[in-house]
Structure 1
């Protein structure tokens, strides 16, 4: 059963163009040592994190030393300031594969919770996105910019929404993609709904984006729209159906086509709790279970936002830890959940300099207490965060 028009309009607002400012910043727990607290990392500072156990993508290693030098993971400890981490676990910086940016407070909240890469799924104008790029010591971002939408959609009615993103025919697809590329969008987003963009238009946007060397993200919240996205050949499908769980055959299509899933269970859980007919969280969870059984690639994304009028607003940063817990409840192993927020998004988005604690990679690192392979909630126990080799320090005052 498809989501009715009223509920569909409510749900489509999830991907409205902007998030909103966060009210505060999640605090870090006590640092690994008094010496570490007194000497936060600065750009170019060389450090040796000693006595750390590393999540290497498969297991938690024995105690080792990780060098940070010039924003990268280095080799030699010569001349490095040593920080004894006392056996704490070091994770690659976490990635949230579905957020909505608002302002610099967004980046503070993300970094404070260990999210060192944020993948924005719809924000405009381009000047806002560009103002948040490359800020030293704060979460690194990528963005879809303005998504392609249908006439009459909630997004199309947002004041100042770019008119060239409201598509009425496939012939507009090439210019839409050109405009997004010119504005600096890192990938292209399409809102797929019923009624909405025609299958021909969705396919045309996908083809134009691929010709421009851009990945295509699709918003799809029902089984029918997921199938439409798969038919069009998009690269990633964000959200999962809430009308009915994906069948094994549809889940298998993700695998055969190489399509990546970003379920955003945190958002789906929130809408499921509203009691809206046709929005059943059990269907969303069941869809993830089916995707995992099929062997699909699954990424962790929260749909964090503070967009006015949206009834579900996962908080930036801390909600990613809840997303990992929901993925585990849906059938992923703790190892798979950790990969869903580290190595897999790096691979899927072509971010080859992150996602693993590896020499030469960006020094995006999260130090936590506990063993997340034994208990995924251990990711919440953030002790310290480095973004590009700079230790994150919460804002005060």
Structure 2
């Protein structure tokens, strides 16, 4: 049996090997407490799981992986790694192991505990970054760590910190902290730390003064900040201030116009009507106004300006989470499916509301409006390709919690959209594995693995061909995984809607 140091070195090779190699990124400052190693149900403490004769991506064919107490203890060629006596052995001949599993870098979870958390690992997603944290997410994380709930590893933001009036002004069931100046912004960061947040979430309507105070106070408190680039702040300033990641592509699209000053003046004229009663009504109003500004930015796109900005992001180590899934659902509504088999894994009171919301969002669009919005979406794909060419680290995230995005399943759609944008398959995999894992400070020896029936390096859709999953040392073989998915579907069908108004979906992409 190898020493712990050898095991860590081997695991690091797995998670950073040939499959996932890319330019190094700036070091993260992880805030999450390390996950406790809880033996999987039915597994004796100190017992070993042996996965044999698999192709391990980044290591090679015919490899064996040994797992004990939620940690990888040894990997190597099967002929060179003896299986300990008494180990539970799974022969994975012809299978492909994705070390660490998949990581979803942008989620919002609000729904039944029996449905949402399990869907992630059952789809090979072993860790998530929760972008609008609340008490329920900390409760779920504690239960997952204790082995009481099947779910992913969670990295959890604090409440959204925004300027006023915020679109999401406290009628969504989750708290928004509105700040007006530097002192209130600093207090909000300290409150986030006191609540147990792993990082600070910044939002669109912050003033430059408040944003700079958040960035500075976050450094003082040992936290990272991530989220939207405020409408009034140049992206270069946010990057220079150490923002860990920029979410979505709205701000990037506006910043790559040759007429950015004019574009920003137009954005300053966008108003949120305070007489609108719900966050959804406010968002719909914002959505219609901003698309007109984005169209102007697309028409005045400047390649040279874009490359200079993206080179700066790459030099600073600023990541970008494009969330193409939510952009696609909002801007290519002609391609939405209302009959997806994935929807059965969510309660009908959630999925049944989506068509009503999307109809309201698209109400009044002319044929010209629709054509322009399609062009805007195509331009977003171009920006993703430019980001990749510039060496900006991309993260795979979906904005799950928004309509038409089912937890776990949606990340596989995101990978396909990144490939459609022009990323090589290897780099798409990197955006969902090593890149977010490094940013989040996930341990390299964690016993999280995705086992596939086909090689995802030959086609990104092969990530859907799941044989089994290892999550926190618990091995879910094909039969158990399918049984647990059926359990989730039954729980979703039996789920009763919450109190009136709580079922409204979250829409973050702005």
Displacement after TM superposition at 1:374 (Å) = 0.8
Secondary structure of 2:103's counterpart equals strand
Instruction: Count residues with an aligned counterpart.
Output: 338
Compared CA separation, residues 170 and 320, structure 1 to 2 (3 A): same
Check if 1:263 corresponds to 2:322.
yes
- 1:217 alignment partner in structure 2: 226
Check if 1:375 corresponds to 2:375.
no
Displacement after TM superposition at 1:252 (Å) = 1.5
Compared CA separation, residues 78 and 281, structure 1 to 2 (3 A): same
- 1:101 alignment partner in structure 2: 109
Equivalent in 229, 232, 238 of residue 238 of structure 2: 229
Compared CA separation, residues 223 and 46, structure 1 to 2 (3 A): farther
What is the CA–CA distance in structure 2 between the aligned matches of 1:216 and 1:272, rounded to whole Å? 28
Deviation readout 1:62-93 (Å, 9 max, x if unpaired)? 11111111111123621212211122000121
- 1:327 alignment partner in structure 2: 418
- 1:132 alignment partner in structure 2: 140
Secondary structure of 1:179's counterpart equals helix
What is the correspondence of 1:192-203 to structure 2 with a 5 Å cutoff?
192=204, 196-203=205-212
What is the CA–CA distance in structure 2 between the aligned matches of 1:223 and 1:254, rounded to whole Å? 18
- 1:178 alignment partner in structure 2: 190
Check if 1:110 corresponds to 2:110.
no
Secondary structure of 1:372's counterpart equals coil
What is the CA–CA distance in structure 2 between the aligned matches of 1:232 and 1:315, rounded to whole Å? 34
What is the CA–CA distance in structure 1 between the aligned matches of 2:44 and 2:380, rounded to whole Å? 43
Displacement after TM superposition at 1:158 (Å) = 2.0
- 1:169 alignment partner in structure 2: 181
- 2:43 alignment partner in structure 1: 42
What is the correspondence of 1:1-397 to structure 2 with a 5 Å cutoff?
42=43, 44=45, 45-56=47-58, 61-75=60-74, 77-79=83-85, 80-92=87-99, 93-102=101-110, 103-104=112-113, 105-124=115-134, 127-134=135-142, 135=144, 136=147, 137-158=150-171, 162=175, 165-192=177-204, 196-220=205-229, 226-227=235-236, 229-230=238-239, 232-241=241-250, 243=294, 244=298, 247-274=306-333, 279=373, 280-306=376-402, 312-351=403-442, 353-354=443-444, 361-392=445-476, 393=481, 394=484, 396=487, 397=490
Q: 8 Å contact 1:147–1:191 — kept in the other structure?
A: yes
TM-score w.r.t. the length of structure 1 is 0.79
Q: 8 Å contact 1:106–1:316 — kept in the other structure?
A: yes
Compared CA separation, residues 168 and 373, structure 1 to 2 (3 A): same
Secondary structure of 2:93's counterpart equals coil
Deviation readout 1:327-381 (Å, 9 max, x if unpaired)? 1121211111111111111111222x14xxxxxx111011001111110110000
Compared CA separation, residues 376 and 72, structure 1 to 2 (3 A): same
Displacement after TM superposition at 1:223 (Å) = 11
- 2:507 alignment partner in structure 1: none
What is the CA–CA distance in structure 2 between the aligned matches of 1:122 and 1:180, rounded to whole Å? 11
Q: 8 Å contact 1:220–1:237 — kept in the other structure?
A: yes
Compared CA separation, residues 139 and 162, structure 1 to 2 (3 A): closer
Q: 8 Å contact 1:122–1:143 — kept in the other structure?
A: yes
Structure 1 runs not aligned, ≥5 long: 1-38, 307-311, 355-360
What is the CA–CA distance in structure 1 between the aligned matches of 2:206 and 2:421, rounded to whole Å? 31
Compared CA separation, residues 159 and 78, structure 1 to 2 (3 A): closer
What is the CA–CA distance in structure 2 between the aligned matches of 1:260 and 1:319, rounded to whole Å? 20
What is the CA–CA distance in structure 2 between the aligned matches of 1:362 and 1:181, rounded to whole Å? 26
Compared CA separation, residues 84 and 180, structure 1 to 2 (3 A): same
What is the CA–CA distance in structure 1 between the aligned matches of 2:105 and 2:412, rounded to whole Å? 13
Of Structure 1 and Structure 2, which has the larger fraction of its residues in helix? 2
Q: 8 Å contact 1:97–1:299 — kept in the other structure?
A: yes
